[in-house]
Amino acid sequence: MRFDHNFVGDTLIFQVQNLLLDAHGADKFKREMLITLNEGEFKNIIIDLDSVKMVDSSGLGALLFARRQVVQKGGECYLVKPAPKVINLIKISKLQDAFKICDGVKEALEAAGEELHQGSGASEEETAGAGDNQGGGDKSEKN
């Protein structure tokens, strides 16, 4: 399982690069999130789930873990492009108010009150790599 992350202002963008966020992946997600928490200060978190096709209850617990990290700071947790099955699990669990659902990273950044640097020429796909790279744009790979 692989995760990429960087910071734009006081927002953490956390990309999950895996098809499945299950019990095995949830542990790695939380571990990587804890490491990232120590790398920089942030108020909001954007979790890019574009490549994730399925989340089970353990994965949902990991997403709630991330949410708790920002709610206690007065921030929000944004989920980008969750698959229909993921949205369904969130609704069945009655957690639709816990997360802000967005169609793209740019939309989530705007909702979080962050602005991309004008003239950066970054496309939406590159947005996760744009901005204040306080976290070093770390790309962590865990097997």
Phi first, then psi, for residue 15 (nearest 5°) are -100, 130
Domain range for 67:
2-113
| DSSP code at position 64 | H
8 Å CB contact between 18 and 5: no
- The CA–CA distances, whole Å, from 75 to 7, 15, 68 equal 14, 18, 9
What's the pLDDT tens digit per position in 26-82? Answer: 999 999 999 998 888 899 999 999 999 999 999 999 999 999 999 998 999 999 999
**pLDDT in the model for residue 87:** 95
Tally Cβ neighbours within 10 Å of residue 34: 11
Assigned domain for 22 exists:
yes
What's the CA gap between 56 and 86, in Å, rounded?
A: 8
State the chain's maximal CA–CA distance in angstroms.
42
The answer to whether residue 91 scores a pLDDT higher than 60 is yes
> What CATH number does the domain containing 38 carry?
3.30.750.24
Residue 92 included in any domain? yes
**80 within domain boundaries:** yes
> Is residue 42 a part of any domain in this protein?
yes
- Predicted model pTM: 0.80
pLDDT of residue 1: 79
- Residue with the two structure tokens 């659902």: 101
Residue 136: per-residue pLDDT: 41
For residue 77, how far is the Cα from the chain centroid? 8
- Domains in the chain: how many in total? 1
pLDDT (tens digit per residue) in 112-126: 997 654 333 334 444
Give the pLDDT score at 93: 96
Find the mean pLDDT for residues 99-108.
96
